[in-house]
Structure 1
Amino acid sequence: MARIRLRNTMTRKVDDFVPLDERNVRMYVCGPTVYDRAHLGNARPVVVFDVLFRLLRHVYGEAAVTYVRNFTDVDDKINAKAAETGRPIRDITDETIQWYHADMDALGALRPTAEPRATEWIPAMVAMIEGLIAGGHAYAAQGHVLFRVRSFAAYGALSGRSVDDMIAGARVEVAPYKEDPMDFVLWKPSTGGQPGWESPWGFGRPGWHIECSAMSDGLLWEAMQDRLSPQALAAPHVFDIHGGGIDLQFPHHENEVAQSCCAHGASDPATGFARYWLHNEMLLVEGRKMSKSLGNFFTVRELLDKGIPGEVIRYVFLMTHYSRPMDWTAEKAREAEGVLRRWRGLVEGIEPSTSPAPAVLEALADDLNTAGALAALHGLASAGDHAGLKASAGMLGLLGDGMGEWLAGADLAPLAGRLAGLRAQAMVAKDFSAVDAMKAALIAAGVEVRMSKAGVELVPGAGFDAEKLKDI
């Protein structure tokens, strides 16, 4: 069994991954707030944790891994979208979830084991909040319920900052009903047309942070107790991996740790909730932070509609380690397209080998070293191990049979025959102008033209555009 090592945000180290129960490996990743299309930055954690999901399934078995990723479908941004458009909230969230699935499917991401919606877990959130109040960790004030941050001595362990430093270095809204500036909302009142539910504190809705604590506990502990090992049962309410983007580390994940540990009587944040915390770094576009004001803001769908295949987007993501900022550039996309075209040409009609290559598995087990895994794939391609290339690429979600539709129209054999015929005529007539013209047209369409004594070979390259072949 491969030894997996993961960069654990909580310990600040790359730790050996040892699940509580090898038959029931459990992972929770924070999902999207569903009010609009997923942008390129939203897609990065999807690909990162999809690779981890694939690795865990390979090592422990597909049935042994439970992966939960939530949908936040109650949020002020959703409310604002409903007010702006006049559409029912449920219509907006249903449509956005459909968009999200379509876009992430296009990137080759496997669907998680469970995708709970926050609105389906309101009773569990209310129950958790009631428990926090009973334990002295939360209090009700003016229709709100707030978590009492200073009641959890280890608050700040995940982000590595003290409460006083957080207050000094941040702009914290100090509402009149707060006991302390750092206290955060667990429940808030709903008025007018805002969505809400009846609760002991009046008609209202949950705060953002409580939903992930309730859903992860419900799906990765409460619903699984009848199948967990004695060792896992000895660590109640604890699961293996919690992940998300680095932007969620504080305050969202820090608050999750605090409220979950307090709800279940745990004092150690490193062992009382999630045992391994993984965070992917942010995304840049052409070296700059993605921003609408800079004109470099892209949704996944916009890139797909521009003709950039989902497999190409995925490859670009995999070129950079998840713990480092990833820079999306047009040049990287062209490079990825060229590589994937060559690889797909090599594996066409090939049955994959029964197991991925050891070098690929070793790279992925080493803290998801996807760049190292891609280098190993290049080695397999160079060595002529095309069956191994196909099987190993599958570990990264590449070269799958359902991901190659973007190569449609790339049958260049007839054109290669025509060019060979022109070359034969030119050699007799000593006039190569027709050959040069056809070569120029092919190159303009993104085709690599390889001519030798053995014949003519045409290979789709980076920037290949089948539409441009119609006029040749």
Structure 2
Amino acid sequence: MRITNTLTGKKEEFIPLQSGVVKMYVCGPTVYDLVHVGNARPAVVFDVFRRYLEYRGYKVIMVQNFTDIDDKIINKANQLGVDPKTVADTFIVEYWRDAHALGIRPANYHPRTTDFVDDIVETIERLVEKGYAYQTKTGVYFDVRKFERYGELSKKKIEDLIAGARVEVDETKNFPLDFSLWKKARPGEPWWNSPWGEGRPGWHIECTVMSVKILGESFDIHAGGEDLIFPHHENEKAQAEALTGKVFARYWMHNGMVRLLGDKMSKSTGNIFTVREAVKKYGRDGLRYMILSKHYRSPMDFSEELLSKYSKATRRVWEILRRYESNGVDGIPKRNAVYEEYVSRFVEALDDDFNTPVATSLLFELARKLSKAMEENDAESALLFYHLIRREFGPVLGLFDLNEERKEVASEPLLGVLIEVRESLRKEKRYDLSDKIRDRLREIGVVLKDTPSGTEYSVE
């Protein structure tokens, strides 16, 4: 298995620290609003990557955090007239609703920042003792010039970053790029006790501490969106390695951004389309397929028109699967040469820098072969193709593994009556009326298909 490591910029063979075990940390949401499609991309990508590691026989220990104290959460709380904990608790619940609807499996651990404040304080104390951090009247800062490898992950030089970089503005800092480890509380803000007075953790130290506490001082994979490479992941790495002297994460994986009308999708720009809207309107598999059809490191353009196209494609597969399942599913296929060929192609694609576009295309190829096998009454082949979609590859990609709710446009009995009436009209050669029924049903999302064995329908 080879993956592109952001740290080296190269495709490298993946070899975990402990044979057969993979420890990975994925940066999770800051919980102050509903998650949008841009947030969904890393959630889906690394959910599938974790599934694939398990498919390949690894035991995976995965951590995904919740940032439950942050300026955005405090601002939201002030807008709503509630305390920040209420905001965080509320949107963690809403996150799980959306994650479940999107088929995201829970990680092994979902730590919350506020449960690790004592550990964060202790870590900052150690950084101060080692000379990597200093106190000012506004808090405690990490001294980036003391860490010689600063910029190694993001490929940025300190001298180039000073002009125009995303850095915190604070005249009390020793150096413009120094970043906050501990923020002294302002009036009305939540706070915790510390040696530096009442305050709260900085953003970057939170993930460093939670990942090290749960996974150890060195672990295999750190992942997230490419917008986190700098400053967040660069700062996480600097803090951890300054503290321990060890390699923090051995492989860094970053997904490309989701662009809406050419701009990055984010709440700050107002370019958002929530996961809840997308799943309700276009289905779980439609959204997952759209995300997985693009290589994870490439940017992904988003529009409702594109999502509708992917949704229709997944519904066509579902119609084939339901047609097969209507006669019952009996047995497990033999692992013959065709079976082994498809498994080999699937593994080859995902072993090559996690190429999900190729892997997902196999599902649609198998669906076409399943449909043809049913038409030819080839039961053995049909079972094989069905098995590969529903039981082998689908559960890895999170596609066609869970039954989606069918779009309700008409009750089954009423639809059956309309089809019978249309059949009678066709036999009487009253095609104007039979075509009118067909066209009106199409308008409400029901597509009729006349076959030698009778009229079939699908729902779009």
Normalising by structure 1, we get a TM-score of 0.86
Structure 1 residues 143 and 294: CA distance shift in structure 2, 3 A:
closer
Do residues 458 (structure 1) and 457 (structure 2) align?
yes
Contact 2:138 2:172 in 1 (8 A): no
Name the counterpart of 1:77: 72
Contact 1:67 1:112 in 2 (8 A): yes
Structure 1 residues 89 and 171: CA distance shift in structure 2, 3 A:
closer
Letter in 1 for 2:173: K
Cα deviation, 1:157-206, whole Å, max 9, x if unaligned, reads 11101100111342644523211111111011113221111111111111
Task: For residue 21 of structure 1, give the secondary structure of its aligned residue in structure 2.
Answer: coil
Name the counterpart of 1:204: 199
Name the counterpart of 1:434: 433
Q: State the shift of 1:212 in Å.
A: 0.5
Task: Give the Cα–Cα distance (whole angstroms) in 1 for the partners of residues 160 and 369 of structure 2.
Answer: 55
Do residues 180 (structure 1) and 175 (structure 2) align?
yes
Task: Give the Cα–Cα distance (whole angstroms) in 2 for the partners of residues 292 and 200 of structure 1.
Answer: 35
Task: Give the Cα–Cα distance (whole angstroms) in 1 for the partners of residues 331 and 145 of structure 2.
Answer: 56
Do residues 106 (structure 1) and 105 (structure 2) align?
no
Do residues 342 (structure 1) and 312 (structure 2) align?
no
Name the counterpart of 1:233: none
Name the counterpart of 2:397: 396
Do residues 367 (structure 1) and 367 (structure 2) align?
no
Task: Give the Cα–Cα distance (whole angstroms) in 1 for the partners of residues 142 and 302 of structure 2.
Answer: 39
Contact 1:450 1:456 in 2 (8 A): yes
Task: Give the Cα–Cα distance (whole angstroms) in 1 for the partners of residues 331 and 154 of structure 2.
Answer: 43
Cα deviation, 1:88-128, whole Å, max 9, x if unaligned, reads 22211111000001101111110010000000001111111
Structure 1 residues 339 and 352: CA distance shift in structure 2, 3 A:
farther
Do residues 415 (structure 1) and 415 (structure 2) align?
yes
Structure 1 residues 345 and 357: CA distance shift in structure 2, 3 A:
farther
Task: Give the Cα–Cα distance (whole angstroms) in 1 for the partners of residues 421 and 28 of structure 2.
Answer: 56
Do residues 273 (structure 1) and 248 (structure 2) align?
yes
Task: Give the Cα–Cα distance (whole angstroms) in 2 for the partners of residues 329 and 352 of structure 1.
Answer: 41
Task: Give the Cα–Cα distance (whole angstroms) in 1 for the partners of residues 4 and 331 of structure 2.
Answer: 31
Task: For residue 200 of structure 2, give the secondary structure of its aligned residue in structure 1.
Answer: strand
Letter in 2 for 1:256: E
Name the counterpart of 2:61: 66
Letter in 2 for 1:441: R
Q: How do 1:38-49 residues align onto structure 2 when only pairs under 5 Å count? A: 38-49=35-46
Contact 1:106 1:311 in 2 (8 A): no
Q: State the shift of 1:424 in Å.
A: 3.9
Q: State the shift of 1:459 in Å.
A: 2.2
Task: Give the Cα–Cα distance (whole angstroms) in 2 for the partners of residues 176 and 56 of structure 1.
Answer: 47
Name the counterpart of 2:258: 283
Q: State the shift of 1:338 in Å.
A: 2.2
Q: State the shift of 1:445 in Å.
A: 2.1
Cα deviation, 1:108-158, whole Å, max 9, x if unaligned, reads 110010000000001111111111111111111215111010111110011
Cα deviation, 1:47-68, whole Å, max 9, x if unaligned, reads 010011101111234xx21100
Do residues 376 (structure 1) and 356 (structure 2) align?
no
Structure 1 residues 136 and 397: CA distance shift in structure 2, 3 A:
same
Percent sequence identity is 42
Letter in 2 for 1:117: R
Task: Give the Cα–Cα distance (whole angstroms) in 1 for the partners of residues 26 and 330 of structure 2.
Answer: 33
Contact 1:155 1:163 in 2 (8 A): yes
Letter in 2 for 1:273: F
Gap runs ≥5 in structure 2:
334-338, 371-384
* Alignment partner of 1:129 out of 124, 129, 146: 124
Task: For residue 191 of structure 1, give the secondary structure of its aligned residue in structure 2.
Answer: coil
Normalising by structure 2, we get a TM-score of 0.88
Cα deviation, 1:415-464, whole Å, max 9, x if unaligned, reads 36643553444443x4312101101112212233222444322222xxx2
Task: For residue 145 of structure 2, give the secondary structure of its aligned residue in structure 1.
Answer: helix
Structure 1 residues 407 and 16: CA distance shift in structure 2, 3 A:
farther
Do residues 242 (structure 1) and 195 (structure 2) align?
no
Task: For residue 41 of structure 2, give the secondary structure of its aligned residue in structure 1.
Answer: helix
Structure 1 residues 120 and 173: CA distance shift in structure 2, 3 A:
closer
Task: Give the Cα–Cα distance (whole angstroms) in 1 for the partners of residues 52 and 146 of structure 2.
Answer: 38
Task: Give the Cα–Cα distance (whole angstroms) in 1 for the partners of residues 406 and 264 of structure 2.
Answer: 29
Name the counterpart of 1:228: none
Task: Give the Cα–Cα distance (whole angstroms) in 1 for the partners of residues 177 and 418 of structure 2.
Answer: 73
Task: For residue 128 of structure 2, give the secondary structure of its aligned residue in structure 1.
Answer: helix
Task: Give the Cα–Cα distance (whole angstroms) in 2 for the partners of residues 265 and 458 of structure 1.
Answer: 64
Task: Give the Cα–Cα distance (whole angstroms) in 2 for the partners of residues 168 and 455 of structure 1.
Answer: 70
Structure 1 residues 194 and 8: CA distance shift in structure 2, 3 A:
same
Count of residue pairs the alignment pairs up: 433
Gap runs ≥5 in structure 1:
222-236, 267-271, 465-472
Name the counterpart of 1:314: 288
Cα deviation, 1:197-238, whole Å, max 9, x if unaligned, reads 1111111111000000100000001xxxxxxxxxxxxxxx11
Name the counterpart of 1:255: 235
Task: Give the Cα–Cα distance (whole angstroms) in 2 for the partners of residues 33 and 220 of structure 1.
Answer: 21
Task: Give the Cα–Cα distance (whole angstroms) in 2 for the partners of residues 296 and 152 of structure 1.
Answer: 37
Contact 2:29 2:39 in 1 (8 A): yes
Structure 1 residues 48 and 210: CA distance shift in structure 2, 3 A:
same
Name the counterpart of 2:17: 20
Q: State the shift of 1:288 in Å.
A: 4.3
Task: Give the Cα–Cα distance (whole angstroms) in 2 for the partners of residues 293 and 204 of structure 1.
Answer: 25
RMSD: 2.3
Task: For residue 38 of structure 1, give the secondary structure of its aligned residue in structure 2.
Answer: coil
Structure 1 residues 186 and 291: CA distance shift in structure 2, 3 A:
closer
Structure 1 residues 352 and 204: CA distance shift in structure 2, 3 A:
farther
Deviates more, 1:338-347 or 1:241-250: 338-347
Letter in 2 for 1:240: D
